[in-house]
Amino acid sequence: MAFLSFVGRVLFVSVFVLSAWQEFKEFGVDGGSAAKTLTLKLNNISNHFTTFTGLQVPIFEIKSLVAGAISLKALGSFLFIFDSTIGATLLILHQLITTPVLYDFYNYDMEKKKFHQLLIGFTQSLSLLGGLLFFVGMKNSIPKRYSIPNHGTETTKTFRNVRDEHIEHMKDELKQARAESEIMFEKLKHTQARLNETQEELSECYQEITRLTRELNENLRPQTKRPMREGWFR
């Protein structure tokens, strides 16, 4: 399981590693294509911000932003591979900043092809953000060790101890259930024996009733008259 978890983390951050490597190769003196794309996106955001608030967005160097994004992705991915919540937090920070800026589908009409392309990228970026949040939540909700008092001294209770205790508890419950089932089986056997005895008694009673009925019918049967002789009336 530990190896599978490691492989899963490597595969998960591969998108960040490949993106950081590509941006690093194209960085050059002006920040590369990433800086050009980011410049257009930030200009649109600055125009919207100025239109709605009347305030001017301060000018900053786009090249530094690209370098910061590369650093966040590289360092965050490296730490995340080794099961670190700090690495996941850095990647979450990167996603929160770049997702609404790079995938600005809200600046396009729904009929345009660009709208759907950016919307797909936005949802994919949100799915990565959701996976990172899930990782951090699981790490915080299931600590690796529990501290418990033991005769005035502090000891550690690992997951293996918790699992063994749970198994022992399940074994005790299974033994108790088995004992109860044996008791119920004995009661059923006793009940079956009583039913057999009752059936035999009923059979004897039926035979006795049959005999008495036969005798009663014989006693109530009228006696047959003897035939008279012919010479009596002559």
Which tens digit of pLDDT belongs to each residue from 146-184? 444 444 444 455 767 787 888 888 888 888 888 888 898
Measured in degrees and rounded to the nearest 5, phi and psi for residue 68 equal -65, -40
Report whether pLDDT(43) > 60.
Answer: yes
pLDDT computed for residue 128 by the predictor? 92
pLDDT computed for residue 157 by the predictor? 55
Instruction: Name the pTM for this structure.
Output: 0.57
Report whether pLDDT(54) > 80.
Answer: no
